[in-house]
Structure 1
Amino acid sequence: MLRARLLVLLAVVGCLVAGAPGTSAAAGPWGRPLPGSPTVTRAFEPPPTPYADGHRGVDLAGAAGTPVLAAGAGVVAFAGLVAGRPVVSVVHPGGLRTTYEPVQPTVAAGQAVARGTPLGLLVPGHAGCPAEACLHWGLRRGEVYLDPLSLLRPPRVRLLPWP
């Protein structure tokens, strides 16, 4: 009986690690919004209350004209100017929403996008950016801001004791 449980447990863990047939577990449903491995120039700093100071996303170093990519599959909710800054926002399954700025959009609201679809081009003008240009990448579920880098980390699997 113990051996059968162990075999089932190993099969489940194997499936979690391997992913679906023909896919790479490392690829996952989410990807970086800039090609390569961009440097984080400012980390996520959640505000203590909804309207308090904080940094509601991460800033990634890039170069002007670099394609900005959809981090995951979804539908473009907004592509335009907010307070004079070009912004693209994508709604994803599960109530998640990612935002990208400053990005000169090449997509339109209502357009379906897959992970890695170009959303637009990175433009300079991000205040406090130590590089040629920086992408501010945000994530929220409902009204709660989350660290977008958490999308790129593998999920923690916790196994509970067998009853």
Structure 2
Amino acid sequence: MRVLRAPSAARFRKAWWATLAAALLTLTGAAGGVVGADQSGGSWQWPLPGHPAVVRHFDPPEQRWLPGHRGIDLAGHTYSPVLAVAVGTVTYSGSIAGVGIVSVTHPDGIRSTYQPVIDRSVSQGDRVRAGDQLGLLGIWGGHCALRACLHLGAVRGQTYLDPLLFLQPWELTLLPHGGW
């Protein structure tokens, strides 16, 4: 299983330099076939009203069968509306082990998952737009220490992705040599 997570500070610096090099090569025409970054970054809307705090970050396991955290947890309030992050088709709306779950497959093939969702207002096959209500936020015993939080996941094929890659736009700012 492969995982894709938001960059740490060190990884962000490496990614920044790599992006700068690719941009310079592209601008000077020296690069042939350079592929840009994933265009979906920052395109998702927040699945809860406002800009909820991340109370637990993406922490995937080293091996597929090991425990880990394959998404992010967002602070919320019980009965808050759970909203679709982007346009897509509902591929699952039901309960697994007593937890209400909704999955939406987006045109780029990424599947967003939401739990715990109660009073689900969508069914399998429904088309949704960004911001459409999927249901209401419930409480999932043993998760988030009995506080209301939404677990948001992102999966491409069998690869778990860090949802923050799609929720937070990463901006590149070029500074003069030597800083400001």
TM-score range, shorter chain: 0.7 to 0.9
Instruction: State the TM-score, normalized to the length of structure 2.
Output: 0.68
Q: Contact 1:96/1:139 (CA < 8 Å) preserved in 2?
A: yes
Partner of residue 47, structure 2: 33
Contiguous gaps of at least 5 residues in structure 2:
1-22, 28-41, 173-180
Distance 1:126 1:60 in 2: 16
Residues 87-126 of structure 1: CA deviation (Å, up to 9, x unaligned): 0000011210000000011100000000011000001124
Task: Choose the corresponding residue for 2:105, options 71, 91, 99.
Answer: 91
The corresponding residue for 2:126 is 111
Q: Distance in 1 between matches of 2:74 and 2:169?
A: 20
- Which has the higher relative contact order, 1 or 2, with Cα contacts under 8 A spaced 6 or more apart? 2
Equivalent residue for 2:168, pick from 142, 153, 156: 153
- The Cα shift of 1:131 comes to 6.7
Q: In 1, are the aligned partners of 2:48 and 2:82 still within 8 Å (CA)? A: yes
- Contact 1:63 / 1:131 at 8 angstroms: preserved in 2? no
| CA gap 1:126/1:69 in 2 versus in 1, 3 angstroms | farther
Match of 1:144 in 2: 159
Residues 126 and 133 in structure 1, CA contact (< 8 A), matched pair in contact too: no
Q: Unaligned 5+ residue runs, structure 1?
A: 1-8, 14-27, 158-163
Distance 1:126 1:37 in 2: 24
Post-superposition offset of 1:29: 3.5
Answer yes or no: is 1:77 the counterpart of 2:91: yes
* Offset from partner CA, 1:125-161 (integer Å, 9 cap, x none): 242415730100000100000001110222567xxxx
Identity of aligned residues (%): 48
148-157 or 110-119, which moves further after superposition?
A: 148-157
What are the residue-to-residue correspondences of 1:59-74 with 2, within 5 Å? 59-74=73-88
Give the distance between the partners of 1:68 and 1:113, measured in 2 at CA: 12
Q: How high is the TM-score relative to the length of structure 1? A: 0.75
> How large is the Cα RMSD of the aligned pairs?
2.2
| Secondary structure of the structure 2 residue equivalent to 1:94 | coil
Structure 1 residues 62, 126: closer, same or farther in 2, change over 3 A? farther
Name the structure with the higher strand share.
Answer: 1
